[in-house]
Chains A and B, each alone.
Chain A
């Protein structure tokens, strides 16, 4: 039971991480109608910036803040220089163009930081484990990730539902042309939304950096998982992305933790471990396929699309 609860927390933590990526993707998709394969690159950049800045300043928090700002700036520059020119094109042009960007960023990181990965050390007070239930110790830092992401989600909710900028974002998602026609500076809005998405992706990367190694291509697999979240949730829907990220996070973690054991009850050790590994990696795609077969537009289809 304690093991299950621990895995449950791991699932929530992965879900929160996926939400940070998926929220940006779904915003960019909902408002600019853009498939952005380079979103994972911003996640990677966030992690690399955090590792470098933390090294340079000697402080984790300061490094993280600097990395967040830098990633947002890189995102906005990227939008102004390149991505902007892809709006209004068909999805294949998006795939081609942002696939090119992904190749470019992987290579750029290799040029700047070298092919070897980096590590980002946590401050010592973060290394502790807390007793969340009697007998269950859980790493403090993972709890911090869950907490901070929930705060970010709440802030995003406030930003989108309670501010003028959020109102414009929602308006842009439901009818882009009309917002432009009403005299809103739509170009600036797009740049800001892209910057916000970049910041969220960079934030996800830098939060995850101390747990994983920071390496080239780290954004590629997580990007696909984030796309799975966006698709399950319904493209363009932040609420859908939130629900779907928890679903995907839990499905993946619980699958990895329990599928091999369940298989072991009626299969040999070797067979259940290899089949279990395959099956638990497939879990999130299985969930997505099931959801799409039942609901071809995801769980929360964005209104007016």
Chain B
């Protein structure tokens, strides 16, 4: 941009800080922070339920964006981590271990371990093969959950007590739970932002655009990608623990492959490689799903073609629409 005069340069710079993207992100955050107040004021309890779900699934989508958007690893089995985190909470609750510290540590640890195994085997493959092998592993976990007769098998398991964190943090209070999820979302966004802009994150992104070159200049890319994969798995495991607490219920259905598809839809819809893309995508997708189902019994007749149109004509998702950037 060639500066025409001193004044115009100044305005350009000040505009640069407050871009449409930043404005949208801030607006979304402010709106999310105000949801409990809105729900209390209007008595619309359902808004709180819906937005708790939005925030939790945004954490899951965020973790998917870390490996898919920044790392180029298209995982079609991401719902498995949600399930593992959820089942860790549900199984421990049923066995009488109510402490949230234990439950959530196990949820995150189990998801990370699963990601380590799956990543170590899957990252040998490329492209569509990677998509398919992550899907295959998620299907295995899905059928394991169906085989768990003690924990409800196909029908799932009701969780009677939410994770306990002592008197100061009562998760059965819906507002407290919402703000906890919201805080964890902000923390996750910050974490992903730090990872992506660190040296580690640069190596992972370098491996996305040209792995051979990264290896040639001496980076053991496999290890970097694997660690990134495990971090994402752990983060999504935490989202699973939150989801189980939110619905007070776990079932194999939360790991069905179409749920993994939903997560991909959220990320791509919001905009890959955009820090707030997954949040905006999760919000748009879930609100649209909810709004359409109120409008008509056959909501997917509209939602389906909408996704198709997004895939065809909106490269870069909502973020791309605002920034005008295209991903390649």
Question: What residues of chain A have their CB less than 8 Å away from a CB belonging to chain B?
Answer: 29, 35, 37, 82, 85-86, 89-108, 110-111, 220, 224, 227-228, 230-231, 235, 270, 274-275, 277-279, 281-282, 285-286, 288-289, 292-293, 296-298
Contacts and interface: CB of A to CB of B under 8 A. Distances in A.
B153 interface: yes
A101 B68 CA distance: 22
Contacts of A220: 257-258
B127 interface: yes
B315 interface: yes
Contacts of A111: 298, 301
Contact of A228 (B136, B299, B304, B307): B136
B311 A100 contact: yes
Interface string B297-310: 01111011111101
Interface in B262-301: 264-265, 268-269, 272, 298-301
Given A96-B268, A104-B305, A224-B135, A282 B143 contact: yes
Q: Is the interface of B mostly helix, strand, loop or mixed?
A: helix
Interface stretch (B23-31, B34-42, B101-109, B118-126): B118-126
A298 B130 CA distance: 12
B121 A293 contact: yes
Please give me the 8 A-B residue pairs with the lowest Cβ-Cβ distance, nearest first.
A278-B147, A104-B304, A100-B307, A97-B311, A103-B304, A107-B300, A281-B143, A285-B136
14 contacts: A91-B127, A91-B131, A92-B264, A104-B304, A106-B300, A111-B301, A224-B139, A224-B257, A274-B149, A274-B153, A279-B147, A285-B140, A292-B125, A297-B129
A274 B151 CA distance: 11
B300 A103 contact: yes
Given A96-B265, A282-B143, A231 B132 contact: yes
Interface in B27-63: none
B269 to A, nearest CB: 7
A288 B132 contact: yes
A70 to B, nearest CB: 20
B76 interface: yes
A195 B300 CA distance: 24
Contacts of A102: 304
B128 interface: yes
Interface-centre pick from B74, B127, B129, B310 (highest chain A CB count, 10 A): B129
B128 A29 contact: yes
A218 B63 CA distance: 31
B209 to A, nearest CB: 13
B35 to A, nearest CB: 27
Interface residues of B, number: 49
A99 B265 contact: yes
| Residue with the greatest number of chain A CB neighbours at <10 A, chosen from B153, B264, B307, B310 | B307
B15 interface: no
Contacts of A297: 125, 129
A91 B269 contact: no
B276 to A, nearest CB: 18
Given A97-B312, A277-B147, 9 more contacts: A91-B128, A93-B311, A95-B74, A96-B264, A275-B147, A278-B143, A285-B143, A292-B122, A292-B124
B125 A99 contact: no
Interface in B127-178: 127-129, 131-133, 135-137, 139-140, 143-144, 146-149, 153
Q: Interface centre among B139, B261, B311, by most A CB within 10 Å?
A: B311
B78 to A, nearest CB: 12
Contacts of A91: 74, 127-128, 131
Contacts of B303: 100, 103
- Counting chain B CB atoms within 10 Å of each CB, which of A103, A108, A296, A298 scores highest? A103
B301 A282 contact: no
Contacts of B312: 82, 85-86, 93, 97
B136 A107 contact: no
Contacts of A293: 121, 124
Contact of A37 (B133, B137, B261): B261
Given A108-B301, A228-B136, A235 B121 contact: no
B133 A231 contact: yes
A35 to B, nearest CB: 7
A273 B17 CA distance: 62
A281 to B, nearest CB: 4
Contact of B311 (A89, A274, A277, A281): A89
B303 to A, nearest CB: 6
Contact of A96 (B129, B153, B311): B311
Nearest to A223: B257
Given A279-B147, A286-B140, A100 B306 contact: yes
Contact of B268 (A93, A296, A298): A93
Contacts of B261: 37, 95, 99
Contacts of A285: 136-137, 139-140, 143
